[in-house]
Chain A
Amino acid sequence: QQQVKQSPQSLIVQKGGISIINCAYENTAFDYFPWYQQFPGKGPALLIAIRPDVSEKKEGRFTISFNKSAKQFSLHIMDSQPGDSATYFCAASMKSGSNYKLTFGKGTLLTVNP
């Protein structure tokens, strides 16, 4: 059972364009929604995150839009740059006992052409 569905699997965008990656979740117990960025041969790193009490969070060129009723959230990368080329993972977190458990989407490979 896949609890976090991510799309598209891959995305090609021209430099300066907008990249949009979508995620949907099923479990309403999730209360924290991070996005991770992974460059080839490296481990993922936290990019931006949101809690369900807000509908949008912006950090520089990166914005998360969150729709609680639809159980969907998305990452928007404005003015996409070749350096943004990476794999992006959405995730959802909830408390599991005394710990937090993260469930990841399957990832989106973003390529930004110069």
Chain B
Amino acid sequence: DGGITQSPKYLFRKEGQNVTLSCEQNLNHDAMYWYRQDPGQGLRLIYYSQIVNDFQKGDIAEGYSVSREKKESFPLTVTSAQKNPTAFYLCASSIGKGRGRNTGELFFGEGSRLTVL
């Protein structure tokens, strides 16, 4: 089955620690995204990547970092510089440019819930 796999599903972190959230997709999609979801805030874009070895900041990138060394993988690191990291994190992918009728439709993983103790 094609899809997006996020891990871990739940993660607890002490203040001052960096944590890395994993996102893997086998949909052969070019573009990948990280969103943060807080109650009543909707989905806010952290980082996105349109192609391997390239990524751009979204609307709330401060305190986060990403890498895109492989097409299938787009890990997100929540650094100690992120002031309020407790949230539900969603990874998504889309088909990417120049391939079919790209509408920007996003396919989401099941999310990772990070709690800072």
With A32-B104, A99-B31, A102-B106 known as contacts, the answer to whether A41 contacts B111 (CB < 8 A) is: yes
With A32-B103, A34-B105, A49-B103 known as contacts, the answer to whether A43 contacts B110 (CB < 8 A) is: yes
Contact of A49 among B97, B105, B108, B111 (CB under 8 A): B105
Interface residue? B25 (CB, 8 A)? no
CB distance from A38 to the nearest CB of B (A): 8
How far is B106's CA from A13's CA once the two chains are assembled, in angstroms? Answer: 28
Whether B103 lies near A106 (C-beta < 8 A) is no
CB distance from A45 to the nearest CB of B (A): 7
How far is B36's CA from A104's CA once the two chains are assembled, in angstroms? Answer: 12
Q: Mark B74-117, 1 if CB is under 8 A from A, else 0.
A: 00000000000000001010101110001111111111000000
> Which of B40, B41, B103: most chain A Cβ within 10 A?
B103
Whether B42 lies near A89 (C-beta < 8 A) is yes
How far is B101's CA from A93's CA once the two chains are assembled, in angstroms? Answer: 14
Contact of B40 among A44, A46, A106 (CB under 8 A): A106
Whether A46 lies near B105 (C-beta < 8 A) is yes
Interface residues on B, range: 20 to 34
Whether B110 lies near A89 (C-beta < 8 A) is no
How far is B106's CA from A42's CA once the two chains are assembled, in angstroms? Answer: 14
Interface residue? B43 (CB, 8 A)? yes
CB distance from A32 to the nearest CB of B (A): 5
Name the residue on A nearest B105 (C-beta).
Answer: A46
With A43-B108, A43-B109, A49-B103 known as contacts, the answer to whether A104 contacts B43 (CB < 8 A) is: yes
Whether A89 lies near B43 (C-beta < 8 A) is yes
How far is B108's CA from A24's CA once the two chains are assembled, in angstroms? Answer: 24
With A42-B111, A43-B109, A43-B111 known as contacts, the answer to whether A107 contacts B104 (CB < 8 A) is: no
Interface residue? A101 (CB, 8 A)? yes
Residues in A lying within 8 Å of B, measured CB to CB = 6, 9, 32, 34, 36, 41-46, 49, 89, 93, 98-102, 104-107
A-B CB contact pairs (8 Å), 20 listed = A41-B111, A42-B110, A43-B90, A43-B108, A44-B43, A44-B90, A46-B106, A46-B107, A49-B103, A89-B43, A93-B104, A98-B50, A98-B98, A100-B102, A100-B103, A102-B104, A104-B43, A105-B42, A106-B40, A107-B42
